[in-house]
């Protein structure tokens, strides 16, 4: 594939499951990653960066299972490319290749730092050494797969003449995509334009490959930088759902896609299309955007800020009287896109307590959830419990139920059996908690606290005995109405790592207890995870 054969469309490379998962506290388990990967395929992304296979055994399994089930979809649609990140070291590349083997279209993404600041202070290698590694490791990746992406990390702070040498070396060794990472989110759109123009002007072989950009959002410029790069010949954008990622995050997929959709006539000429062409500029099914955003937010515990472009709760809300008046008279007075284009419609009431298993299963399938029999039975059981308390079960309630079930079904570790609290304005909040421990023992403990949640967490802490610090606690209602499910999200810190958990229930103290157990279980599993191979002292 080269730029001539794909000139009029942007390749959407989604790295939610790799860079996105590097968001502090956003660790995902293999089942959650798989569910997101299925949704990304429905969304129509071209490339799914499923993870960094060599980083842990869990990550290897996640990449492999995504390669196996999402990378080989046979519903008539083309399976997406499944990609694994790999440092420019043999073992990483070998492990990535093994994990990707089941995919119909595998890609290995090899990276190594290129800037002097990284070479001197992190890699402790000379420029010549890095050049040699690039040639050897890209060729090595190429011996496993045809499709090799290469990223010179910190490219936008690398001395240009050296950057061109590194890129030329990678192309000569067989790279098919060259990705330019703005690793620390330092550049402005004008500078990004110049960097891309200079790369294209100075590297004669650049037209043999797809040119890509990976923009971090440290200055809030990621989307602007990516769009500026598109104007100068970049044809692949690396991005994540909701813009999650390392530090301040990454380019948001929904922003890039909707900018290209809403401002098609502006971007058309940059992609070689006539101004009035109506052909889509990406392969994304925009109606799947909102659902994907919610799914990622629920599984990662990364809440979407209300004023987030495209997918925030306020993105289509009009508060001022003048705006409301205008929209009622003519929508386009204050709206540049219709909420339905991202799949945001008035949530319909679909199920209630008389709905049967078949209706439940069918609706879940329509929502993109394909549960195995055990998960389906458990989710149905929970649906019935909730339907007894809450008359109307919406799609959003269903999503919350499924998320909880998927989470519970894979949560080896501690299990919450019962929680009971007494509280009020003239009593001391007291909680009694019973848990099942990983060794099969059932234990109960009672504790008092400053409030019911504090009492529950104190009781749990006594039972599990895993030191941690609660750094975030939030409650959001899943739908409107006094009987709504409440979703509790918690984030714990142990040493320098964050672990999040969330759970929903009509009783927010119960949701809080489950969310806490979920975060504790992530922490517990992290403590038990082994690296795939011993990486001690082996940065590159």
Q: What angle do CA 56, 35, 214 make, to 5 degrees?
A: 65
Residue closer to ligand KIV (CB basis): 54 or 431: 54
What does the alpha-carbon distance between residue 86 and residue 348 come to, in Å, rounded to a whole number?
44
111 lines the binding site for ligand KIV (CB under 6 A): yes
- Rg of the chain in Å (alpha carbons): 24
Min separation Cβ 151 and ligand KIV, Å: 4
Q: What angle do CA 408, 414, 415 make, to 5 degrees?
A: 55
> Cβ of residue 20: shortest distance to ligand KIV, in angstroms?
11
Query: And the tokens for 443?
Result: 């234990």
Q: Which stretch binds ligand KIV (CB under 6 A): 3-11, 95-103, 175-183, 506-514?
A: 175-183
Q: Where are the alpha helices (DSSP H) in 57-126?
A: 57-69, 90-100, 116-118
CA distance 140 to 483: 58
Residue 95 binds ligand KIV, judged by CB under 6 A: no
Of the residues 84, 94, 183, 240, which one makes contact with ligand KIV according to CB under 6 A: 183
What is the Cα–Cα distance from 270 to 254, expressed in whole angstroms?
20
Is the distance from CB of 310 to CB of 258 less than 8 angstroms?
A: yes
Indicate whether 158 belongs to the interface with ligand KIV (CB under 6 A). no
Of residues 224 and 315, the one with the C-beta less far from ligand KIV: 224
CB atoms within 10 A of CB 266: 13
Considering beta carbons, is residue 183 or 502 the nearer one to ligand KIV? 183
In the complex with ligand KIV, the residue whose CB is nearer, 212 or 500, is 212
Of 177-185, 334-342, 412-420, 526-534, the segment contacting ligand KIV by CB under 6 A is 177-185
Residue 19 makes contact with ligand KIV by CB under 6 A: yes
Site string for ligand KIV, 188-227 (x = CB under 6 A): --------------------------x-x-----------
- Which range in 178-186, 372-380, 385-393, 503-511 contacts ligand KIV by CB under 6 A? 178-186
Pairing label, strands 177-182, 147-153 = parallel
Q: Rounded to whole angstroms, how far apart are CA atoms 461 and 468?
A: 9
Note the maximum CA span of the chain: 78
Using Cβ positions, the residue closest to ligand KIV within the complex turns out to be 181
Binding mask 125-154 for ligand KIV (x = CB under 6 A): --------------------------x-x-
Interatomic CA distance for residues 513 and 464, integer angstroms: 13
The contact set with ligand KIV (CB under 6 A) reads 19, 111, 151, 153, 179, 181, 183, 214, 216
């Amino acid at each position: 594939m080269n730029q001539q054969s794909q000139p009029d469309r942007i390749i959407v490379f989604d790295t939610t499951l790799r860079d996105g998962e590097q968001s502090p506290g956003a660790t995902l388990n293999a089942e959650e990653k798989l569910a997101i990967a299925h949704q990304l395929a429905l969304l129509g992304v071209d490339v799914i960066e499923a993870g960094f296979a060599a980083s842990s055994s869990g990550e290897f399994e996640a990449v492999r299972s995504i390669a196996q089930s999402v990378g080989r979809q046979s519903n008539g649609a083309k399976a997406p490319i499944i990609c694994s990140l790999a440092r420019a070291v043999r073992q990483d590349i070998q492990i990535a290749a093994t994990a990707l083997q089941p995919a119909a279209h595998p890609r290995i993404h090899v990276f190594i730092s290129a800037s002097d600041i990284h070479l001197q202070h992190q890699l402790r290698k000379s420029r010549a050494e890095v050049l040699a590694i690039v040639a050897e490791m890209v060729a090595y990746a190429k011996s496993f797969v045809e499709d090799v992406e290469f990223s010179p990390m910190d490219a936008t702070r690398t001395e240009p003449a050296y950057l061109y040498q590194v890129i030329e070396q990678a192309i000569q060794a067989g790279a098919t995509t060259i990705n330019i990472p703005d690793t620390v989110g330092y550049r402005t759109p004008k500078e990004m334009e110049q960097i891309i123009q200079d790369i294209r002007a100075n590297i004669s072989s650049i037209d043999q490959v797809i040119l890509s950009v990976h923009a971090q959002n440290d200055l809030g410029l990621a989307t602007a930088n990516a769009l500026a790069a598109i104007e100068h010949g970049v044809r692949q954008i690396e991005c994540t759902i909701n813009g999650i990622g390392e530090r301040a995050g990454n380019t948001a997929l929904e922003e890039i896609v909707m900018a290209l959709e809403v401002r098609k006539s502006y971007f058309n000429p940059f992609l070689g299309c006539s101004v009035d062409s109506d052909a889509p500029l990406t392969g994304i099914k925009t109606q799947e955007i909102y659902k994907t955003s919610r799914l990622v937010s629920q599984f990662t515990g990364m809440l979407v800020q209300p004023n987030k472009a495209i997918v925030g709760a306020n993105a289509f809300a009009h508060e001022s009287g003048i705006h409301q008046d205008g929209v009622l008279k003519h929508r386009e007075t204050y709206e540049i896109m219709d909420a339905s284009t991202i799949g945001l419609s008035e949530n319909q009431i679909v199920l209630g307590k008389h709905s049967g298993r078949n209706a439940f299963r069918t609706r879940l399938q329509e929502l993109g959830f394909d549960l195995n029999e055990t998960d389906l039975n458990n989710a149905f059981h929970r649906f019935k419990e909730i339907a007894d308390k809450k008359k109307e079960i919406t799609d959003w309630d269903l999503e919350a139920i499924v998320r909880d079930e998927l989470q519970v079904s894979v949560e080896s570790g501690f299990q919450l059996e019962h929680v009971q609290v007494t509280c009020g304005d003239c009593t001391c909040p007291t909680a009694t908690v019973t848990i099942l421990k990983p060794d099969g023992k059932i234990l109960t403990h009672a504790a008092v606290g400053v409030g019911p949640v504090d009492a529950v967490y104190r009781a749990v802490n006594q039972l599990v005995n895993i030191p941690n610090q609660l750094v975030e606690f939030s409650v959001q209602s899943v739908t409107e109405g006094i009987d709504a499910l409440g979703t509790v999200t918690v984030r714990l810190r142990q040493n320098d790592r964050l672990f999040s958990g969330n759970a929903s229930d009509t009783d927010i103290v119960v949701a809080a207890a489950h969310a806490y157990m979920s975060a504790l279980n992530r922490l517990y599993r992290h403590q038990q995870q082994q690296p795939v191979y011993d990486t001690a002292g082996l940065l590159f």
